[in-house]
Amino acid sequence: MNTINQRLRAALRHARRDMRGVALQTVIVIVVLLMIAGGVSAVLLSRSSDVVGQLEAQGVGALT
């Protein structure tokens, strides 16, 4: 009976460690994805201002 309780406690300890590891990996993945999204949005914003400038210079559409 005592060994069953010890094995059960050991299994619970391992499960808790695994949950912490999975939670940490999830946080890391979310942070990396947010960094990628921020980089992409920064590039798109900088490129869009260049395109608007070119369209204004050409006098295209309602931008003139």
Per residue in 5-57, pLDDT (tens digit) is 888 888 888 888 878 888 899 999 999 999 999 999 999 888 887 887 787 77
Using the Cα atoms of residue 15, residue 17, residue 18 and residue 24 in order, give the sign of their dihedral: positive
Tally of domains within the chain? 1
Can you give the pTM of this predicted structure?
Answer: 0.59
Q: Is residue 55 included in any domain, yes or no?
A: yes
Predicted pLDDT of residue 14: 83
The tokens describing 17, both together, are 């460690």
Distance of CA 24 to the CA centre of its chain: 13
Phi, psi of 59 (to 5 degrees): 75, 40
Instruction: Let me know if residue 21 belongs to a domain.
Output: yes
d(CA 34, CA 40): 10
Closest CA to 18 of 7, 8, 26: 26
Residue 64 lies in a domain: no
pLDDT at 1 over 80: no
13: domain range? 2-59
